[in-house]
Amino acid sequence: MKYRIFALCLLLTAGICRAELNVFATVPEWGALVSAIGGDKLRVYTATTAFQDPHRIDAKPSLLAQARRAHLVVAAGGELEVGWLPLVLRDSGNAAVQPGRPGYFEAAAQVSRLGVPAVIDRAHGDVHAAGNPHVHLDPRNVLKVGEALARRLGELDPANAGVYQAGFKDFAGRWQAAMARWEQAAAPLRGVPVLVHHQSFVYLASWLGLREVGTLEPKPGVEPSSGHLSALLAAQQLRPARLVLRAAYQSDGPSRWIADKAGIPAIMLPYTVGGSERASDLFGLFDDSVQRLVQGLR
């Protein structure tokens, strides 16, 4: 039987062979998670890297071509990709991955979101009506998303449902052990006041007990201005922050400027898988992030 499927796969072009699911992940963190769960049963394409701002991607031809062949689209959701993904999905001619179908999965929909705005008005910048979409930096959310993802993979590919469940269980076991390790290592971070470039670290802060006392962007999605940075610097007198955080894809100028003036360390966090050398997978991402933060305190 296995042989016959294999022969069939050889006959069909590799792209539409059913023995493997093609997964289109919009961002590296969920690409890494789905790979960890599905292993060699999946062919995972990740649409962006850690050095790309996932809000600001063009609906590129290569993305359309990949979405066309996907059996499952794993999106961050929460309007993070609103500037390109809806167009890519509609123009892909792929009915299976349209929102509302089993082939469309949103990570942010699986967890409780923080920062749901009370007022939705562009005067407040690029606000996300569904709350802050950067949910993956709380490792407890990664588990919730992983559980739902394993279930979804099982629905799409029932023959391998057991494999996905086992893949998730294995991942979850290692993840929980690692979480205990990170939480212990990050204990000194509890209550530490920090400045952030963009509100990318809300979930990380809520998990580790960091206290965000300001953002370098005057409004979400609006580049830091010198006036706003000076105001932040002045506020240092009253509410001194001890670290300035930015993601790998954000420019380092503003955080370096304020770090120099205030005499506090500017910390680049990988933000997602691939954002630093050590962040080659989800475990590395958190190992590296926690280490960079703790080192920054010294």
Partner 1 sequence: MSRLTLAAAALLAASGAAPAANDADLAAIRAQIDEMKKSYEQRIASLEKKLALAESQANPRAEPAVPAPQAAATSSAGAFNPEVSLILQGQYKSMKNVAERGITGFFPATGHSHEEGGISESSRRGLSLNHTELVLAANIDPYWRGQAILGLLDGEVEIEEAWFQSLGLGNGMGLKAGRFFSGIGYLNEQHPHAWDFNDAPLMYQALFGSHSNYAQDGMQLKWLAPTPLFLEFGAEFGRGASFPGSDRNKNRPNGGALFAHVGGDVGIAHDWRAGLSWLRTSAQAREAHFEDVGGLEAQGAFTGSSNTLLADFVWKWAPDGNPKYRNFKFQTEYFQRREQGKLRCMDEDGVGNACAATVDSDYRTRQSGWYAQAVYQFTPNWRAGLRYEQLDSGRRDFGINAANLVVDSYRPQRASLMVDYRWSEFSRLRLQVAQDKSMAGLADHQLSLQYVMSLGAHGAHKF
Q: Which residues contact partner 1 by CB under 8 A?
A: 13, 15-16, 48-49, 51-53, 56-62, 64-66, 68-69, 78, 82-87, 90-96, 98, 100-101, 108-109, 111-114, 116, 122, 125-126, 130-131, 169-170, 172-174, 176-177, 180, 183-184, 206, 221-223, 249, 251
- Report the distance separating Cα 229 and Cα 155, nearest Å: 49
Compare residues 131 and 236 and give the one whose CB is closer to partner 1. 131
Nearest to 112 by CA among 86, 140, 85: 140
Distances (CA, A) of 48 to 76, 274, 284: 12, 10, 18
**Smallest gap, in angstroms, from Cβ of residue 125 to partner 1?**
8
Compare residues 92 and 236 and give the one whose CB is closer to partner 1. 92
Compare residues 15 and 188 and give the one whose CB is closer to partner 1. 15
Q: Which residues pair with 268 in a beta bridge?
A: 246
- Report the distance separating Cα 40 and Cα 62, nearest Å: 23
Q: Are 29 and 273 in contact (CB under 8 A)?
A: yes
**Smallest gap, in angstroms, from Cβ of residue 56 to partner 1?**
5
- Report the distance separating Cα 123 and Cα 70, nearest Å: 37
Instruction: Tell me phi and psi for residue 199, to 5 degrees.
Output: -75, 55
**Smallest gap, in angstroms, from Cβ of residue 235 to partner 1?**
22
**Smallest gap, in angstroms, from Cβ of residue 187 to partner 1?**
9
- Report the distance separating Cα 137 and Cα 202, nearest Å: 8
Q: How far is CA 107 from the centre of its chain?
A: 9
**Smallest gap, in angstroms, from Cβ of residue 51 to partner 1?**
4
Element holding 254 (H helix, E strand): helix 253-262
Compare residues 86 and 265 and give the one whose CB is closer to partner 1. 86
Compare residues 60 and 261 and give the one whose CB is closer to partner 1. 60
Compare residues 20 and 91 and give the one whose CB is closer to partner 1. 91
Query: Is beta strand 21-25 parallel, antiparallel or unpaired with respect to 42-46?
Result: parallel
Q: Which residue has the tokens 């952030």?
A: 196
**Smallest gap, in angstroms, from Cβ of residue 263 to partner 1?**
27
Compare residues 62 and 237 and give the one whose CB is closer to partner 1. 62
Angle at 205 between CA 121 and CA 213, to 5 degrees: 65
Compare residues 19 and 96 and give the one whose CB is closer to partner 1. 96
Q: Are 76 and 133 in contact (CB under 8 A)?
A: yes
- Report the distance separating Cα 228 and Cα 217, nearest Å: 8
**Smallest gap, in angstroms, from Cβ of residue 82 to partner 1?**
7
**Smallest gap, in angstroms, from Cβ of residue 257 to partner 1?**
15
**CA dihedral for 264, 265, 266, 267, sign (positive or negative):** negative
